[in-house]
Structures are given as C-alpha cells and as structure tokens.
Chain A
Amino acid sequence: MVYAGKTKSGAAHIGVSGRLRDRNLVMWDEETNSLWSQLSGKAIYGKRKGEALALTPSVFVGLGTWVKIAPQGKVLALSNVRVKPWHYRRQDLAKGEIRMGGALALGLRAKGDTLGIPLRLLQKKGAVEVEVGGRRALVLWHRGEMAPLAYERPEGMHLQLKGDKLVAGTGEAFDPLTGRPLGKAGSRPSRGLARFPYLPVLLKAWKSWYPKGRILGQKD
C-alpha cells in the first residue's frame, strides 16, 4: 500500500519499528518517534497520536502490465528477499485465491467507510460501480493483464467494460489500463480518469480487520 509521507503537522519518514500489534506491522516516524499502524495509517502512540497518513492511489499489477501503463517508469532495484514466492505472480491474482491463505479481495476505504470486493466476484462481473465513504469508484478486472484496477467515477458518469475499452454512457471511451481518454468521433478529448486507492488483501484478513465493514456480494 502507498501512503502520503506527511500529515497536517509535517513530514513523516517512516521505518519498521520491530513491533507487532494484533499481528500487524507497526511503523515509526523519524521526526517524532511516534508509532503508526501499517494497516490503518494512523498514529497510535506518541506525539502524533491520532494523526493519519492518507492512503494514495497506486496499482497492483504484474511488471509486464506496469511497463504498458508507464513505459518511461522505473523499478526498485533491490535483491529479492523471497525466492519462492508462489503467490507473488499475477497468475495467483487470476486464480482469485492463494494456497493456504484462501480467497483474495480488494479492500477500499474512504472516510471511515470500507468495502471488500472478493476478487472472484470481480472477475465474474468484469467491472463494478461502488461507493465508499461518499466517493464513487469503478473497480475492474482486466482479464488480459490479470490485473485489478480502480478509478474515481465522476458524478453522473457510468462506465462499462466493452471489449478492450471502458465506455461511458455518453459514448466517451477510456483505456482501462491507464484511464486515458480514447476520444469519441467528432468530440474534444476529455480528461482521463483518476485512480482510486485499493489494497490487495486476503478476504479473511480484511473481514477480521473490519468486522463491521461491507463485503460486496454478501449481505450485512
């Protein structure tokens, strides 16, 4: 997951604290030595207790897809720390579950609201329009790239996956990988779609973190 590296009180350079809380990583900031929950992004101890790092949009895709999304991009060049990562490939996302871990999901959260989207359900539907914390999103499964993607959905805009395009009710089309407008004959190009933050998670873990949260396709 990706957080903004600052809060209203200033910069936050974050490191691993060596602590665990409820089996989740606890982080610390170099500026004040406060402790932060990795899962929620909130400071749980110290001078900055109560502050939160904002979850920011990112993509969770295979490297091959990444190169298509950002041809001029760069890639972290550290040595691998896990050389038998059978569940760190995009084919594992395509299965919708991982061995021993169970079903996979995408977690969305905004303004205290959460929504878990089981990956298998997303793969079956292709794309779903959802609302989380008052923010509208389109979440889709790109079958060819074996990748989940999510975009902010402007008010009044409904998007559908049609072949290799995302098509709005107005006929406007977007590239599902980048959100860039593909245009419509005779029309001015519009702005692209902004990405919506999401987390790839184990469904059971998401449910345990947010026991009162909504799960798409499941009754409350």
Chain B
Amino acid sequence: MLPIAAALLAALPLSPFQESRPASQPGGQAQSRPSAPSKKAGKPLRADWGPDAPGRQVVPVKFKPMRKVPYWTNKEALRHLSPDDLVIGIIRGDQAIAYPIKMLGGPQREIVNQEIRNEPYVVNW
C-alpha cells in the first residue's frame, strides 16, 4: 500500500453506528488455534475518478472488491469471539452467514461481496 494511503486511513469515514475511530490497527488479537483469522484485505488500486466526481478522495487509492473471504463454522467462531460480539447476519433458506462488525473496517475491509444461493450480496459497515 502507498505510505501516504496508510497514513490517511484513519481519516476515512465513520460507519453509521460508529462515533469515533478506535486507535487500534489491523492485525487483531493473537490467535493460537490452527484456524487463525485471515488478514485478507481488498487490494489497493489507483483511484481514477475525475475532478467532477462527488465527495473528496481521502486516500489516493480505491480497494478492489473483496469476494473470496475465509469463514469459520459457528462452533469455530465461538472459540475466537465472544457471544456478545455483534454480527450482521444474512439468512437465505438453508444458507446463513454472519459478519462480526469488528472485522469490517480498516477501511480496506469495510465491504464484502458474497454470493448466497446464487444471489449476490454486498455486506458493508
């Protein structure tokens, strides 16, 4: 990632539920189990919109949509997370996926693209 981009990440927008951005950095809690959480993030690309684009470019990069991300079973997740940790959950028929909100951020990981039963969804925080 471009050094200036990393320096400016903290200035990126706040989620609807977030009143301030904690000082913690990506990397998270140390995990000793084999199925440790991934540090996967959207790949940075050059931001290429014209001067007439709405808003302002806070970092000089955009992040490639995240499509393939790792998952735990519920049972595995409970080894790593608290039952009190808030998640956004999607349920479609017999398919159900939860997204712990403390994993969605950075900002390179604020959006996950996921197909469930052949239907595409965009989970964001």
- Complex formed: what's the CA distance from A85 to B65 in Å? 25
Interface string of A81-122 (1 = CB under 8 A from B): 111110111110100001011101001000000000000000
Q: Size of chain A's interface in residues, with CB distance under 8 A?
A: 80
Q: Indicate the size class of the contact surface on chain B.
A: 35 or more
Point out which of A17, A39, A89 has the most chain B C-beta atoms below 10 A from its C-beta: A17
A26 touches B54 (CB 8 A): yes
Which residues from chain B contact A83 at a C-beta distance below 8 Å? 22, 24, 28-29, 102
Question: For the complex, is A75 an interface residue (Cβ under 8 Å from B)?
Answer: yes
B28 touches A200 (CB 8 A): no
Chain A residue at smallest Cβ distance from B120 = A5
A75 touches B87 (CB 8 A): yes
Which one of A7-15, A132-140, A211-219 contacts B? Answer: A7-15
A76 touches B24 (CB 8 A): no
Beyond contacts A11-B120, A19-B55, A75-B72: 4 other A-B pairs, Cβ-Cβ < 8 A, are A56-B90, A76-B104, A77-B80, A202-B17
| Given A30-B64, A79-B37, A81-B106, residue A91 in contact with residue B16 (CB < 8 A) | no
| Given A45-B54, A61-B87, A76-B100, residue A19 in contact with residue B121 (CB < 8 A) | no
| Given A18-B60, A73-B96, A75-B77, residue A67 in contact with residue B83 (CB < 8 A) | yes
